[in-house]
């Protein structure tokens, strides 16, 4: 056994040294030759362990992500696809992931063919029809979000419970690249740009980036992630993934019938109070049914992280702001966030644990809603740190309230004068309007002082270059409080959503000439 362990460790170290040699400028042909003699004995878990060691050695997630495509391309030439174990039958989560990947490959091919037709279209009517077809084909690809979410929210947590954290950190970042490329391509097809030749070139460039990101991730899943998961996860864990998957949904295909999950068991250290019996609390008593009803009724989303930074509980209200999955229970909270925001999570928890702070709060504009997010240190009677409570609330309607309501009025049938103002009580001044990513604002002089770089999106698109890469690089280089301006004749909604999800504040203003200025700022 020790010999096998030593051989495995040696293969991982050798693989790491070969890959580092490639990224330090070594010849791809030389690396292929060295890999070909090693890779026959390397399994998927060792490839993941290699990336995990690079991170442990101090390489950042962004550095591993940036080199991931290069070494994956070289390994693809020498590493034959690993066959999924015959024990995986129809309907198993891995079977569904594979069938979705096959459907995604076909959908990418449909987009290629549609854009080829668009490039060759002649009369204006043909061009318009071809453009509509291309947009429809690209829209189909947005179903990939369900595939990625099931992977990120269900599969990654269980891998991390087994100590495999590299794939979730690196692949999540690569998923975000694919999302951004797809959104940028859809945005290109949704606008009209003077100089059609340059626009078609930009569309082709956007397609190439999208296909490279999606097909590259399919290869990584088929060759590394899924075989490794099958070697690692238990039958019970696959059963939980299967049970939780319908909440997120399926990508392009439905799962096949045939898979039967194992019967779930309740851990020994938990208990359910008998029906009708109350739980005694310091300020009263409630039954479990009552307590569950209260938590589900509250207009806030609650998530509790214990003293070991593991998610212990979340509430299930009717309209959660951020979705949760039961697979998150017991997971390190740092692994529930994209790599780019982990440092903020660590800082909050470290400050809470050390007693330096007890509250942290953020507010963001997301899809037309104003969301207030608060974190509270939970302490016992002796000030012992018990964990962290996250409280999230959509406060859009609250921010819009004006004056007073002192008489009963139900919002589902209220008339214009139903919320009467009592005499003698002047109206409070109205709060400032909520600024969303698509709100037209005149606040550009305030924002201008923060802007360190301006990108003319129209000029770049007309020249046949998509601004996505420049925007991503410019946003990544921003210091806290600095801004990046994007000038365009259209509101870049997919780009705005991608940046907001990436941790940036985004506002859009319209100039007198009708052009839009989108300002991106690093969130404080």
Task: Find out whether 438 and 500 touch, Cβ atoms under 8 Å.
Answer: no
Paired residues of 388 in beta bridges: 305, 377
Least confident segment among 66-80, 319-333, 416-430: 416-430
> pLDDT band at 458, cuts 50/70/90?
confident
Mean pLDDT of the chain: 77
Residue whose C-alpha is closest to residue 341's, from 217, 166, 501: 501
Between 451 and 229, the more confident residue is 229
| Inter-CA distances, 343 with 149, 337, 346, 436, Å | 22, 10, 5, 26
> What tokens were used for 183?
């959104």
Summarize pLDDT for 305-350 with one digit per residue, the tens.
999 998 899 998 777 887 777 777 887 888 776 555 778 899 999 9
Six token digits for residue 174? 């690569």
Predicted local confidence at residue 348, as pLDDT: 95
Cα distances from 265 to residues 160, 169, 313, in angstroms, run: 21, 30, 18
Measured CA distances, 63 to 67, 139, 162 (Å): 6, 31, 24
Task: Output the pLDDT for position 266.
Answer: 43
* Dist. CA 295–CA 279, nearest whole Å: 15
Nearest to 156 by CA among 242, 263, 233: 233
pLDDT digits (tens, 9 = 90+) for 189-220: 887 654 466 788 889 999 999 999 999 899 88
Mean pLDDT of 416-440: 37
| Residue pLDDT, tens place only, 351-396 | 999 999 999 999 988 767 899 999 999 999 899 999 999 999 999 9
Amino acid 190: pLDDT: 85
Query: Is-above-0.95 flag for pTM?
Result: no
181 and 213 Cβ atoms separated by less than 8 Å: yes
How far apart are the C-alpha atoms of 233 and 221, rounded to whole Å? 15
| The pLDDT value given to residue 480 | 64
CA distance 179 to 144: 9
Give residue 164's pLDDT: 80
| CA separation for the pair 229, 168 (Å, rounded) | 12
């Amino acid at each position: 056994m020790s010999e096998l362990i030593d051989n495995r460790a040696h293969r991982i170290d050798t693989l790491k040294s070969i890959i580092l040699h490639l990224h330090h400028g070594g010849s791809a042909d030389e690396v292929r030759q060295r890999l070909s003699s090693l890779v026959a004995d390397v399994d998927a878990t060792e490839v993941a362990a290699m990336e995990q060691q690079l991170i442990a050695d101090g390489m950042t997630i962004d550095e591993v992500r940036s080199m991931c495509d290069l070494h994956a391309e070289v390994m693809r030439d020498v590493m034959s696809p690993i066959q999924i174990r015959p024990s995986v039958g129809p309907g198993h989560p891995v079977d569904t992931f594979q069938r979705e990947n096959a459907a995604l490959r076909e959908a990418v091919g449909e987009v290629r063919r549609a854009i080829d037709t668009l490039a060759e279209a002649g009369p204006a009517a043909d061009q318009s029809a071809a453009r509509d077809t291309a947009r429809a084909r690209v829209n189909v690809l947005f179903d990939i979000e369900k595939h990625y979410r099931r992977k990120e929210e269900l599969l990654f947590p269980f891998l991390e419970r087994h100590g495999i954290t590299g794939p979730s950190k690196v692949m999540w970042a690569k998923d975000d690249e694919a999302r951004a490329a797809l959104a940028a391509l859809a945005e290109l097809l949704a606008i009209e740009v003077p100089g059609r030749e340059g626009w078609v070139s930009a569309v082709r460039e956007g397609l190439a980036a999208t296909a490279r990101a999606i097909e590259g991730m399919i290869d990584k899943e088929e060759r590394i992630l899924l075989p490794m998961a099958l070697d690692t996860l238990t039958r019970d864990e696959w059963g939980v993934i299967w049970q939780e998957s319908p909440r997120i949904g399926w990508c392009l295909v439905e799962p096949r019938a045939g898979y039967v999950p194992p019967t779930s068991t309740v851990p020994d250290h938990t208990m359910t109070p008998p029906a009708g019996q109350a739980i005694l609390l310091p300020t009263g008593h409630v039954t479990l049914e009552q307590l569950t009803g209260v938590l589900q009724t509250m207009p806030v989303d609650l998530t509790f992280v214990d003293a070991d930074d593991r998610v212990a509980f979340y509430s299930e209200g009717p309209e959660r702001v951020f979705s949760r999955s039961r697979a998150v229970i017991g997971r390190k909270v740092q692994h529930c966030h994209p790599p780019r925001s982990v440092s903020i999570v660590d800082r909050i928890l470290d400050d809470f644990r050390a007693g330096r702070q007890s509250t942290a709060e953020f507010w963001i504009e997301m899809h037309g809603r104003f969301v207030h997010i608060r974190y509270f240190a939970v302490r016992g009677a002796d000030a012992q740190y018990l964990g962290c409570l996250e409280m999230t609330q959509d406060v859009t309607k609250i921010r819009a309230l004006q004056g007073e309501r002192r008489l009963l009025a139900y919002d589902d049938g209220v008339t214009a004068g139903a919320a009467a103002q009592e005499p003698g009580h002047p109206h409070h001044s109205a709060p400032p309007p909520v600024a969303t990513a698509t709100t037209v604002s005149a606040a550009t002089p305030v924002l201008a002082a923060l802007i360190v770089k301006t990108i003319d999106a129209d000029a770049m698109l007309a020249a046949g270059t998509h601004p996505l890469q420049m925007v991503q690089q410019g946003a990544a280089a921003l210091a806290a409080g600095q801004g990046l301006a994007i000038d365009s004749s259209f509101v870049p909604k997919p780009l705005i959503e991608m940046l907001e999800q990436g941790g940036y504040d985004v506002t859009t203003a319209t100039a007198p000439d009708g052009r839009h200025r989108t300002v991106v700022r690093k969130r404080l």
